[in-house]
Amino acid sequence: MNNILNNLNVIHNRMIKACKKANRAKEEVRLLLATKTVEPNCINFALEQGETLIGENKVQELKQKCHSVKEKNPEVHFIGHLQSNKIKEVLKWVTCIESIDRLSVAEKLQNKLAQENKQIDIFIQVNTSFEKSKFGVAPNETIELIKNIAKFKNIHIKGLMTIGLLSSKSNEIRKCFQLLKKIQKEVIALNIPNVEMSELSMGMSKDLEIAIEEGATIIRVGTAIFGDRIYPDSYYWNESDKS
Ligand SMILES: *Cc1c(COP(=O)(O)O)cnc(C)c1O
């Protein structure tokens, strides 16, 4: 637990430094704890230190952990690949789905929301790195997707999400985040009803500084806080289902 406390301090200091460099107020950037594979007691410890936002990738984990952390009342986002048959379960726990990347799943989400008389916030996940293995709508198809999803009355588009290129070349990573920012500006200029574009969820353990410099409003950090995971990221990110 000492490690987690220490790591949280390191992350907040990195955020402060990056905000300063980018001439932004620290309050403009929220820290989301990416809690996949993390034990509930570790998540609860982080929440006790004042963290307020967590993100899960898998519905099974979401369900188990939300039970264990609900006393702390964190805001919960879904950040993983959403399968249509899991929508009902996800809606029980989260206020925002950051990973909507196709019309078919948004349609099913809208149907379920209407049935249950619920509303939800979403971000559109964009594949800014153009890697085939990554989820996310292609950058040049993003606006069309947003226009279509904007028609769904129970879904509110609040911003964009991306996973930057996994690379040691910071200029290549930066290009991904700049592309997301560019799409955000284009969408704002279109003034689409029922679309707000205030949030940019980008930046993780290794590239959060670049993301903050390029305009992130939410950074999603896992390993730099909770330590290495036993599963490779491909377990969470690769395409096993395009329902
Ligand atoms: C795991 C994960 C993160 C956090 O990645 P780290 O490198 O552990 O900081 C961020 N976003 C998504 C979508 C993730 O699945």
Q: Could you tell me which residues come within 8 angstroms of residue 150 by beta carbon, excluding any fewer than 6 positions away?
A: 157, 192, 193, 194, 195
pLDDT, residue 230, reads 72
- How far apart are the CA of 39 and the centre of ligand 1, in A? 16
Q: Is residue 20 part of a domain?
A: yes
Weakest-pLDDT range from 44-48, 89-93, 153-157, 239-243: 239-243
Average pLDDT in the chain: 94
Report the alpha-carbon distance of residue 39 to residue 17 in Å, rounded.
29
Read off the CATH number of the domain in which 50 is found.
3.20.20.10
Q: How confident is the model over 181-219, as pLDDT tens digits?
A: 999 999 999 999 999 999 999 999 999 999 999 999 999
Question: Strand pairing partners for 145?
Answer: none
pLDDT, residue 228, reads 84
- The atom number, within ligand 1, closest to the CA of 99 reads 13
- The atom number, within ligand 1, closest to the CA of 32 reads 10
Q: DSSP assignment of 150-201, as one string?
A: TT-TTEEEEEEE-----SS-HHHHHHHHHHHHHHHHHHHHHT-TTEEEEEEE
Q: Is residue 116 part of a domain?
A: yes
CA distances from 191 to 121, 161, 186 (A): 18, 19, 9
pLDDT, residue 133, reads 78
Domain that holds residue 64: 2-79+86-229
Q: Is residue 235 part of a domain?
A: no
pLDDT, residue 243, reads 38
Per the structure, the count of domains in the chain is 1
pTM of the model as a whole: 0.94
Q: What is the mean pLDDT of residues 107-125?
A: 98
Q: Is residue 234 part of a domain?
A: no
Question: Strand pairing partners for 31?
Answer: 219
CA angle 120, 121, 124 (to 5 degrees): 130
Q: Is residue 211 part of a domain?
A: yes
pLDDT, residue 207, reads 97
Residue 83 DSSP class? P
- The atom number, within ligand 1, closest to the CA of 204 reads 9
CA distances from 160 to 66, 126, 194, 224, 225 (A): 24, 7, 15, 23, 24
Q: How confident is the model over 64-102, as pLDDT tens digits?
A: 998 899 889 999 999 999 999 999 999 999 999 999 999
Pocket of ligand 1 (CB under 6 A): 34, 36, 57, 79, 163, 204-205, 220-224, 236
Q: Which residue's CA lies nearest to atom 7 of ligand 1?
A: 205
Q: Is residue 239 part of a domain?
A: no
Q: Which residue's CA lies nearest to atom 13 of ligand 1?
A: 79
The single-letter code of the amino acid at 220 is R
Q: Which residue's CA lies nearest to atom 11 of ligand 1?
A: 220
Q: Is residue 41 part of a domain?
A: yes
Q: Is residue 93 part of a domain?
A: yes
Task: Using the predicted structure, report yes or no on whether residue 16 has a pLDDT greater than 90.
Answer: yes
Q: How confident is the model over 32-49, as pLDDT tens digits?
A: 999 999 999 999 999 999
pLDDT bin (cut points 50, 70, 90) of residue 242 is: very low
Q: How confident is the model over 158-190, as pLDDT tens digits?
A: 999 999 998 899 999 999 999 999 999 999 999
